[in-house]
Structure 1
Amino acid sequence: MNKVSPIIAFVHVPKTAGSTVNHYLARSRAPGQAHVESLFSQSHKIREKIAGYDWVSGHVPFPKMRATLTRVTFRHIHFFTAIRAPDAQVMSHFNWLIEIRKRGRSFYNAHPPQIKEISERIRAADTSDPRQIIDLLHGSRQLFLNFQSQMVLGKRHPTTSLDELEQRLRVYELIATEATLPTLIERVSGQAYQPKKRKNVSPYHFPKDVFQDQRLLEFLHEENACDFALYDFVQSRSAEQNIR
């Protein structure tokens, strides 16, 4: 029987504790699926699958997530996502492109060719040199720069007004940051967050303090401006709600 209850849709921005959210969703025992990237490209299967799900999660930008779900279901959709301090998210995402090779040949080969190509360039570079990191980030800007904004909103110009940003974010039930991750997990899974149950955490394969280099910080604040604006806005809105 097709479900009529609302469906939870989690826009999984890489390296923002999304794997931990997926873990709690799976533990909730409600039917659903993480990593729906492949499913969303299978038009002959998705309608039937979504009809029986209570939740979906994936590295799918919000515009595609909403368009796909509204095409295959008339149920209400409750959108959630999580974001992270932009410098930390870029650094962690950059590190992940090294980590995927560390996890073995089969894990590495499961990734798309363009991801493996970027991984190879990063692993061949001197990742203790901020100038080389800047070149790598700039050369793969679609993967690293303003990536959180693209996932959460779609493409956005950095001069978008706060009023417009507020309107566009209203579609989400909750956008979590590091501080409000426990609230997100409880809202989507009905379970209390346990910090020791973080998933998909990997060691760093370069000196983390390289991301404190002034040249690299200035580059990120200029070239990653949309992500900084989004993060600052979400944090300020959360603070206002707490005060009220």
Structure 2
Amino acid sequence: MTTPVSRPRPLLALNWKLNKTPAEAAAWAADLAAALTPGAAELAVLAPAIDLPALAAGLPPGVAYGGQDVSRHGAGAYTGEISAAMLRNVGATYVIVGHSERREYHSETDAVVAAKARQAQAGGLTPIVCVGERLDVRERGEHVDFTLDQLRASTEGVGENLIVAYEPVWAIGTGRTATADDAEEMAAAIRGALEGLYTARDFRVLYGGSVKPDNIASLCARPNVDGALVGGASLKVTDVIGLNDALK
């Protein structure tokens, strides 16, 4: 079984999705600053781009932030798009690319995801590349091959500075969670694939899909799960504190 050379601190990548105005983001950041105590985890808030200045002004020291999507273009006549340089200019360090919702609702292909990841890296951001299978794929026993094929295509030409989030589509926002064994199986396979593609050996592999304070510790206890991409539980500061405290 593939095991990381050195275990990084768990990363909690908090994906707000389409939630929170700038005023609400500022209030959330102030509440977090008042309640957060140092823990074993690193935190990064992945918010709507319009919220990032409010987060920059209010997040406690050591909490990073980033975007939920990025253009595959650097600049030009692409109305409505946000470039990596724009995100980096307001202090973002991370950006999600290839989330299953982008793939499904916006028809993003693996090639588009790879192009966005390349642009993110060119702009100084670390892309969090999302991969994962639908329920029918898992039920056929094809989840490993499917996800690794998706990973390879979604990282074509992408440099080593990346994070991979495994998010089984059937467990996102459904209340169903992959078991710790399921998450470990896929995280180990993903790490092995990354080690075949790159010379680095210190990749972070996250799990995403109905992550909560009561299951985060068991997930992150597995040797190849380096944290989580958190959806619904990212919206309430009390849940974020619960996630953080569970990893102490």
TM-score (norm 2): 0.26
User: Which has the higher relative contact order, 1 or 2, with Cα contacts under 8 A spaced 6 or more apart?
Assistant: 1
Which is greater in Rg? 1
Structure with greater helix percent? 1
